[in-house]
Amino acid sequence: MSFTPLDIPDVLLVQPKVFGDDRGFFFESFNQAQFDTALGRTVTFVQDNHSRSGKNVLRGLHYQIKQPQGKLVRVVEGEVFDVCVDIRRSSPTFGRWVGEVLSATNKHQLWVPPGFAHGFLVLSESAQFLYKTTDFYSPENERTIIWNDRQLDIRWPIEGEPILSSKDAIASSFQDAELFP
């Protein structure tokens, strides 16, 4: 398994070593010791989530203002464009975003640290998205930043409008969002 820091070094691209032959493939999708070594600290996951979405569905940009969640995200069916936004005011990369294509084919994963807003856009006909979290879901602490915020200027690979939940459609601007210190 390899761990590559992205343009925001706290966000890691995780690439498993895939063993394949005419029978199929095998890969280790998570290894606690390797993950802790890559992060330089121990991370404990407390919840696993699984979602399925259709083409052009955009989920996010979500975060929890209390009980912030680190997430290890991956796609087991289809393809998504996954985005992480640094919303830690004290960070040198505050307000910057990174995006990666995650798919069942490339088997890449992203480590989204606590203190980041996260979202994804489904590029394929459908996608199944799995992720581990470092803290439990807390609806009263969940916040959302609008997907097309002009200040963030995320370059989503979509023509037209995405399919949004009602919550995501009325999300805050980055400027008005409740963020981390």
Catalytic residue from among 62, 63, 108, 118: 62
* Structural domain contains residue 68: yes
Q: Which domain, by its residues, includes 83?
A: 41-145
* Structural domain contains residue 18: no
Domain count, the chain: 1
* Structural domain contains residue 45: yes
* Structural domain contains residue 166: no
CA-based R_g, the chain, Å: 16
Burial of 152 (0-12, 13-18, 19+ CB in 10 A): buried
For residues 13-31, give the mean pLDDT: 93
For 116, residues 6+ apart whose C-beta sits below 8 A from its C-beta are 10, 11, 63, 84, 85, 86, 87, 88
The model's pLDDT over 66-98, given as tens digits with 9 standing for 90+, comes to 999 999 999 999 999 999 999 999 999 999 999
Position 181 scores a pLDDT of 82
Structure tokens at 105: 């084919």
* Structural domain contains residue 58: yes
User: Which strand (E) or helix (H) includes residue 132?
Assistant: strand 126-133
Query: Which domain CATH number covers 65?
Result: 2.60.120.10
Question: What percentage of the chain exceeds 90 in pLDDT?
Answer: 97
Q: Is 62 a catalytic residue?
A: yes
The model's pLDDT over 111-121, given as tens digits with 9 standing for 90+, comes to 999 999 999 99
* Structural domain contains residue 154: no
* Structural domain contains residue 13: no
Question: What percentage of the chain exceeds 70 in pLDDT?
Answer: 100
Residue type, 116: F
- Between CA 51 and CA 75 the distance in angstroms is 10
Per DSSP, the residues of 35-100 read HHHHHTS-----EEEEEEEETTBEEEEEEESSS---EEEEEEESEEEEEEEE-BTTSTTTT-EEEE
Half-sphere exposure (CA, 13 Å, Cβ side) for 53?
24
Catalytic residue from among 50, 108, 131, 137: 131
Q: Is 63 a catalytic residue?
A: no
Helix%, strand%, coil% for the chain, nearest 5: 10, 45, 50
Structure tokens at 141: 């602490």
* Structural domain contains residue 54: yes
Residue 43 has pLDDT above 90, yes or no: yes
On average, the pLDDT of the chain sits at 97
